[in-house]
């Protein structure tokens, strides 16, 4: 196994064909353009960050990259082929994701949750499964072994038999990542992986993502915690009102006055909204 690097490494080689390439991706909801002509790419071993104020279109863009939405226009290529428009096929192609709100099977154990992720790679048909034939039993054993390895990888071996709903919040987030990894992805998308975490859990999440990168996976992450994003990512794209504002290294993005303005501007608007609500009273 490769030695784990727990810091940003030298930038990965981006001279080859990107693993994922989004070209002019646009997503409209009626009259609202949630994502507007976005170009974006990610290479194997690269960690990309997606930032932007609330409502900038980050999750909608993620949904376009994972087959949940078919873009209104534009194209997403993954591993040399057009991304299939169905989430299940996207997973089989090698793209896995986690969601902003945790979506575990609450009444299943940690181990069972990870095993579920693995089933997209098994091939036993309904009959073999019902009869519990040799092929089924072999696949079931391999699935369990791989799930145990992944729980160990994310640091959850000790709680493998605990129900997901009884795990602390940070562990539930790591479990979601283990389940996503069980699908054998080449690209992992994380939607606000540290939301609600304390600083210690956030640092743990950072280390885990570096470990995943060190296995050769590409990672794209949405996050509002700028320290996390700028520590972690090789490149960062800032979206504002669905449009790409800046794409560059963390150093370039964090010092770009347009990015600072986009965030401060949103803060000022939020204050205006609060002042307006105060004038109208709580029942308005």
Ligand X SMILES: Nc1ncnc2c1ncn2[C@@H]1O[C@H](COP(=O)(O)OP(=O)(O)OP(=O)(O)O)[C@@H](O)[C@H]1O
Residues near ligand X (CB under 6 A):
29, 32, 34, 52, 54-60
Residue closer to ligand X (CB basis): 171 or 192: 192
User: Do you know the residue count of the chain?
Assistant: 284
User: Contacts by 139-146 with C-beta closer than 8 Å and gap 24+?
Assistant: 143/115, 143/118, 143/119, 144/111, 144/115, 146/118, 146/182
What secondary structure letter does DSSP report for 166? G
What is the four-CA torsion angle of 107, 165, 146, 123, rounded to 10 degrees?
Answer: 40
Burial of 240 (0-12, 13-18, 19+ CB in 10 A): buried
Residue closer to ligand X (CB basis): 7 or 54: 54
Contact 189, 76 (CB under 8 A): no
What span, in angstroms and rounded, lies between the C-alpha atoms of 44 and 153?
A: 20
Question: In 68-221, which ranges are continuous DSSP H helix?
Answer: 87-93, 110-118, 126-131, 134-153, 169-181, 199-214
User: Least Å distance between CB 28 and ligand X?
Assistant: 9
User: Least Å distance between CB 62 and ligand X?
Assistant: 8
User: Strand, coil or helix: what is 272?
Assistant: helix
Residue closer to ligand X (CB basis): 212 or 239: 239
Contact 164, 104 (CB under 8 A): yes
Residue closer to ligand X (CB basis): 65 or 164: 65
Contact 247, 22 (CB under 8 A): no
Residue closer to ligand X (CB basis): 49 or 57: 57
Residue closer to ligand X (CB basis): 32 or 260: 32
Residue closer to ligand X (CB basis): 44 or 57: 57
User: Least Å distance between CB 59 and ligand X?
Assistant: 3
User: Strand, coil or helix: what is 117?
Assistant: helix
């Amino acid at each position: 196994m490769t030695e784990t690097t727990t810091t940003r490494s030298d930038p990965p080689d981006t001279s080859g064909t990107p693993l994922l390439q989004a070209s002019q991706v646009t997503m409209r909801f009626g009259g609202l353009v949630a994502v507007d002509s976005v170009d974006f790419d990610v290479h194997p071993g690269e960690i990309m960050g997606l930032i932007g104020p609330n409502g900038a279109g980050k999750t909608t863009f993620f949904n376009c990259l994972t087959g949940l939405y078919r873009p209104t226009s534009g194209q997403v290529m993954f591993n040399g082929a057009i991304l299939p428009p169905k989430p299940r096929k996207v997973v089989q192609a090698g793209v896995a994701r986690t969601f902003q709100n945790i979506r575990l099977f609450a009444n299943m154990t940690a181990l069972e949750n990870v095993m579920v992720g693995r089933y997209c790679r098994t091939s036993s048909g309904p009959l073999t499964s019902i009869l519990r034939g040799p092929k089924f039993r072999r696949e079931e054993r391999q699935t369990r072994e791989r799930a145990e390895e992944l729980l160990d990888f994310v640091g959850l071996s000790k709680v493998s038999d605990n129900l997901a709903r009884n795990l602390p919040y940070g562990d539930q987030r790591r479990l979601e990542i283990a389940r996503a990894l069980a699908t054998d992805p080449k690209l992992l998308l994380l939607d606000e992986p540290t939301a609600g975490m304390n600083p210690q859990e956030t640092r743990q999440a950072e280390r885990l993502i570096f470990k995943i990168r060190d296995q050769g996976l590409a990672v794209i992450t949405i996050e509002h915690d700028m320290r996390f994003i700028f520590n972690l990512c090789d490149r960062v794209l800032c979206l504002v009102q669905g449009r790409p504002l800046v794409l560059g290294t963390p150093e370039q993005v964090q010092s770009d006055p347009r990015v600072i303005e986009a965030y401060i501007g949103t803060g000022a608007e939020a204050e205006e909204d609060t002042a307006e609500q105060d004038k109208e009273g709580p029942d308005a």
